Amino acid sequence: MYRHRAVFISNLQEARYYIDQIGAAEEAYLFMAPKAVHRCILLKDIPCRWANIIKQEMLAKGGEAAVSRESLYAEGDTDILLMGTFKQYRLLIKKLNMQPDFLKKLGQEIRAIIDNLEPNPFTMELAGGKTLELGVRTLIMGILNITPDSFSDPGHYFKKEAALARAMEMVEQGADIIDVGGASSRPDSSMAEAEEELNRVLPLIKSLVREEVIISVDTFRGVVARECLAAGAHIINDIGGLQMDQELLPILADFKAPVILMHNRLQYNRGLPYQDLLSDIIGELGASIKQAVNGGLKPEQIIIDPGIGFGKDRQQNLTLLKRLGDFKTLGKPILIGASRKDFIGRVLNAEIAGRLEGTMAVTAAGIMNGADIIRVHDVKENVKVAQMTDAIVHAHG
């Protein structure tokens, strides 16, 4: 009796593992695994007349759907919380595909969400012919601020020689990507002009391209991105999510360069309150993704960043970490950059120098909840955290 246990299965691969371990009929997993994985999907602002159809169809498939208590009689909209297995969702999608256009389109969106929730390792093509393996293990991005006023290491690497030495030290410690920034984005800093930003980062990039290292440039400016990509940089890390400089996107498309789209209500949409934290951020990132694809980027060249610390308070940042898996809805690799940030200091009552352990805890939690890339100052320590957490995440049984 005491050997019985509950089994928490998070994806189809895990379901297949258990089915195969039992010795079920060959390929039984094809029809069994979709019944083993349960998912909840939140649909926003659905007209009540359609919501009631969706609820009845989900109930008919053995699933469940929570709608507003007024939806049966109201003319407005309601959110819907769908609850079901992959199998039930597939049956629902098949049924919705035979309905009017609104429900047919909604079925396609549900299918995309379900597909995006499954692990999907792939090779990302970078500018300059390099590639990046995503989804196999967690990648570490080392932060290199060439600024006099960054919140964590102001002026430490302002000279090219010091910056280059630090970059190579981080590579030796296990960094997969070096993220070079020449303009501080902290709330109380004055933003460097484009010419000054270029003067800071370009000499370092020209030196780094001679090394075997992937270079990301932390900039929202098109003119800075163009010069850095021409010099050999591989990725642009845009804190503006394509909203702060309309010249950036065509340059990314010209260079076939991947972009990291960060959500940011600190530099744009400042003060705009959240109606629903997760849904608002996912919706705004989704709009940036659509803009990027419409502007010429390949869908597989986009990474998303929920923007921890940018226009979010302590509790909102913690919620983003806890619910990071919700961002898999968008089907893009997820980067988090929470290293040494203020919310860690508030939780631990620690100044910047005392936030290493908190950052390491965030790294572990982020990986457990679906992060693909972790952006940090302390590379050596966080590489080890990532290795250990990856081993746990990928363990069988």
Token duo for residue 166: 């630090």
Q: How far apart are CA 379 and CA 377, in angstroms?
A: 6
Q: Strands, DSSP E only, in 152-271? A: 177-181, 214-218, 235-238, 259-262
> Catalytic residue numbers?
341, 375
Q: How far apart are CA 127 and CA 253, in angstroms?
A: 10
CA distances from 131 to 136, 164, 234, 363, 367 (A): 14, 22, 9, 24, 22
Q: How far apart are CA 194 and CA 187, in angstroms?
A: 18
The candidate with the shortest Cα–Cα distance to 50, out of 2, 136, 110, is 110
SS (H, E, C) 301-350: HEEEECCCCCCCCHHHHHHHHHCHHHHHHHCCCEEECCCCCHHHHHHHCC
Is the Cβ–Cβ distance between 12 and 37 less than 8 Å? yes
CB atoms within 10 A of CB 73: 7
Q: State the residue for tokens 């308070």.
A: 313
